[in-house]
Amino acid sequence: MRKFLCSVLACSSMFISAWSVDLNYPKKVINGKQYYEYVVQKSEGFYSISKKFGVTEEEIKSVNPGTENGLTLNSTILIPVKADAYTTHVVDKKETLYSLSKKYGVTYDDLYALNPSLKTDGLKYGTEIKIPTKKTITGQNMTVSDTLPKVKKEAKPSFVIREVKKGETLYGICREYGITSEEIIRLNPDVKDGVKTGQKLIIPPVHANTALTESSVENKVPKTFKYHNVKKGETLFGICHEYGVSQEEVIRLNPKLADGLKVNTVLIIPPSIEGQAGKAKDDLASADKMDSTGVDSVPAVVFVPQTTPKKEINTAIFLPFQLKKYSESSPIDGNMDKFLEFYQGALLAMDSLRKTGISFNMNIYDSGETEADMNKLLENREVEKLDFMMGPAYTGQIKTMSEYTRTHDVKMVIPFSSKSEETVSNPNIFQVNTPLDQLNYLMADIFIKNFSDKNIVLVRFNNAKNDKNEFGDTLAFMLKAHGIAFNEVNFSTLSAIRTQLVSHKGNIVVPLTANQVSLSQVLPMVNMMNTDKKDVCVFGFSEWQNYPSIAKDLFILDTYIITPFYTDFNDPQVVNYLKQFRKYYNAEPVNSLPQYGMLGYDIVMYLTEAISKYGHDFEHGMSKIRLNGLQSHFFFNKFENGGYYNSSFMLMKHNRKDGVVLMGGSVPQEVKPLLEKQKERSEKKK
C-alpha cells in the first residue's frame, strides 16, 4: 500500500496545479483610472486571470486591444483596479463560505476578490473578512447561483394522504402536486386503471423546485411549470412550438420521451424564456423541411440525442489524498485506505475496458477537505474537458463542485454522500447512495411488499445515535395508509417487546437503530423470544453487518437485511476481480461494507458502458443501460428538473444455518435473473 501511495502521489502531482493570489502588482494610472501591470504566465488565459483579479474577461480585452485572439506568454497586460466598497465580518464557529454567501447575497468570487487568502487558507474562526456592500453581476462574474430562478423556501416535504373527490382524475391530482402518475401508481397500485371517488391516495414527498416565485432573468420567466396531456396526432415539435420552449429542455425534463411520444402521457413543460418561442418556431420550420407529410415520424430524430458514442473517455477522481501531509513516516488513516482502494478499483475497471478498445485519460486531484480547497482545484482549466468527475469525499464540497459542473456541462458522480440538496436541482449529478427521503420510502415499500402478512413490531430507542426513527416514521405512515396493523414499543425490558408478540402468525421485530450499544442490548432479548409457539424474525439495516461487537447475537433468527450492496464471492466476475486486485496491489481489500474498490470498479464500468454507447449526454439512453456489478446494481431515478439517484436495493434473508438467501428487492427486471442464479447458489449450500 505504501508503494502504491507513492505512485499515486507522483501521478497526482502532475495534475494538481499550485495557485496563489497576490494583488501586489505594479500599478499604472491612465486617464485617471488605475490598472495593474500583469505579466501573463504559462498556460494562463482570460478566464483564469479574470478570476484572479475579480474582473470580467470583457473588461480585460477592452483595455488591451489586439488580445482578442488570445494572450501571449510573458506579455504585459493591463488589469482594471476595482474600487472595493465593503463591510467587515468576524467569522463565527460553524460558518462556511456557503452560509456567508447566502447571508450577504454575494458570490464566492465576490468574497475571494476582497479576501484572497480564502483561496488558500479557507475561513478561520475569529478572523475578520471583507464583505462587498454592493454586488454587481456582469459577464463572467456571474455564477450559476446568480442565474437560477430563486425558489420559494418550504417546509421539508413529507408523505400526505389525499382523498379522491367526485369528478377528479389521476391526471388532475398529478398536476395539483406536481408529480408524475408513475409516482402515485407506485405507491397506490390500485389506481393503475383510474381513481375512484372516496379512494385514499398516498402522495409521495415532492422536492418541488417548480413553484418559482421570482425571477433572476429580469422577470421574463413565468412563475410555474405547465403540464401537457399528449393528444392523438400531436408531435413534440408542435408542443414545443405551442409553449415556446426548446425540445432539448422538454426531453431533459421528461426522459421517458426516449421511448417515443405517447398519447395521454403527461409532459412537464418548462417555463418559457423570451427568445425560446422563436427558437421553437425555427425548430418547427426545420422539422417541416425534414418531414413534409405531417405524419408523426419525427421522433426518431427528436428523441435520440445528438451525441456521438465515445471510445476515448476523459475522467477524474477528486479525493482527499492528503498530499501536503504525506511523508514516508506519516500514518495513513482508515479513510485514506478506503479512498485509495476506490481509486484502485477504478483503475482495474479501466484496465479491463482497455482490452475492449476503450481508452482513458485519467486525472487525479487531491481535493482536500474544505470549500477553499475545491475552489482552488477548479481554477484548473483542464477540468473543463472531462466527460465525468468522481467525488468529492466530503459533503461540504459538493455544492462548489456542483456549480462547476453546471457551468461547464460536466457529469458529476457522488460516490459516498447521501445528501441530496444539489442532486434535486442539478441535472448533471448522479448520486450513488440514495438520498435519505427516497431511501426511507424505498425500504418501507419493500418491507410492506414482503411482510404485510406478519405481526409487525416497531421498537424505538431513546437517545440512540444513528437511530432509524425517520425510517420508522415513514414506515408507520405507509402502513397506516395501506390499512396494515402494527405495534410500536419503546425499548426498555424483555416483557415490553414480548407482550406485543402473537402466536397465530409470524412476528417480525424491527429495532429502529443502527447504534451498536442499543443493538447489543435488544438482539439477545429478541433471540430468546422465538419458541415453538411464537415464530419471530428480525428486520435490520445494512450497517449492522459492520459491527463486530454484535456478531455473536446477529443472524441467530431469520434476519432480513435491506442493502444496496451484495457480493456473491462465488461469482466468476468477483473471483477474477479479487485475483487481479491481489496481483496488482499485493494486498487484500479493506474489510468493509461496501468494499470501496468494488464500488470504484462498478461505477467506472457503468459510466463507461453508458458513454461508449450514448456519448456525453448518456442520460437520455440510460434506461437501456444495465450492469450486473460486483456489488452494486445501478438503476437511476430522476428528480424532476434535477439529477439522478440510484434506487436499486436487495433484500437478504440471513441466518446461521442457511447463510444468505436473496429475496429480491427494488431492482431492474434485467437484474433479477442474476439474483435468481445467486439464490440458486445459496440453496445449494444448504
What is the structure's pLDDT at 205? 65
Convert the pLDDT of each residue in 95-115 to its tens digit.
Answer: 777 678 777 877 777 787 778
Measuring CA to CA, how many Å separate 458 from each of 228, 319, 464, 559?
Answer: 43, 39, 15, 15
What is the structure's pLDDT at 19? 29
Pairing of strands 312-319, 388-390: parallel
Measuring CA to CA, how many Å separate 412 from each of 322, 449, 550?
Answer: 22, 34, 37
Q: Which residues on adjacent β-strands are paired with residue 654?
A: 559, 660
What is the structure's pLDDT at 331? 52
Convert the pLDDT of each residue in 185-207 to its tens digit.
Answer: 777 877 877 888 888 888 876 54
For residue 210 the three cell numbers come to 417548480
Closest CA to 381 of 10, 8, 12, 15: 15
Convert the pLDDT of each residue in 552-576 to its tens digit.
Answer: 899 999 999 988 888 888 889 999 9
Taking 90 as the threshold, does the pLDDT of residue 414 lie above it?
yes
Convert the pLDDT of each residue in 258-279 to its tens digit.
Answer: 667 888 777 777 766 433 444 4
Tell me which of 323 and 539 has the higher pLDDT. 539
Highest mean pLDDT among 272-281, 332-341, 390-399: 390-399
The class level of CATH for 27-143 reads alpha beta
What is the structure's pLDDT at 607? 93
Tell me which of 667 and 248 has the higher pLDDT. 248
Q: CATH 3.40.50.2300 occupies which residues in the chain?
A: 307-434+566-648, 437-563
Report the alpha-carbon distance of residue 391 to residue 397 in Å, rounded: 9
Report the alpha-carbon distance of residue 101 to residue 92 in Å, rounded: 14
Q: CATH 3.10.350.10 occupies which residues in the chain?
A: 27-143
Query: Which range has the worst mean pLDDT, 11-15, 28-32, 336-340, 671-675?
Result: 11-15
Report the alpha-carbon distance of residue 63 to residue 44 in Å, rounded: 18
Measuring CA to CA, how many Å separate 385 from each of 46, 191, 380, 393?
Answer: 17, 47, 11, 21
Convert the pLDDT of each residue in 127-171 to its tens digit.
Answer: 888 888 643 323 233 332 332 333 333 344 456 778 888 888 887
Convert the pLDDT of each residue in 308-319 to its tens digit.
Answer: 788 889 899 999
Convert the pLDDT of each residue in 583-614 to its tens digit.
Answer: 988 888 888 888 999 999 999 999 999 999 88
Q: What is the length of the chain?
A: 686
For residue 103 the three cell numbers come to 447571508
Span 490-496, average pLDDT: 83
Tell me which of 78 and 142 has the higher pLDDT. 78
Query: Do residues 604 and 314 lie in contact, with contact meaning Cβ atoms separated by under 8 Å?
Result: no
What is the structure's pLDDT at 215? 30
Tell me which of 266 and 89 has the higher pLDDT. 89
Mutual angle of helices 334-354 and 2-13, in 10-degree steps = 70
Query: What's the angle, vertex CA 381, arms to CA 380 and CA 385, rounded to 5?
Result: 120
What is the structure's pLDDT at 222? 32
Please state which architecture CATH assigns to domain 307-434+566-648.
Answer: 3-Layer(aba) Sandwich (3.40)
Domain 437-563 has CATH 3.30.1490.20: no
Start-to-end CA span in the chain (Å): 38
Q: φ and ψ at 455, to 5 degrees? A: -80, 110
Measuring CA to CA, how many Å separate 474 from each of 16, 226, 450, 680?
Answer: 45, 30, 16, 33
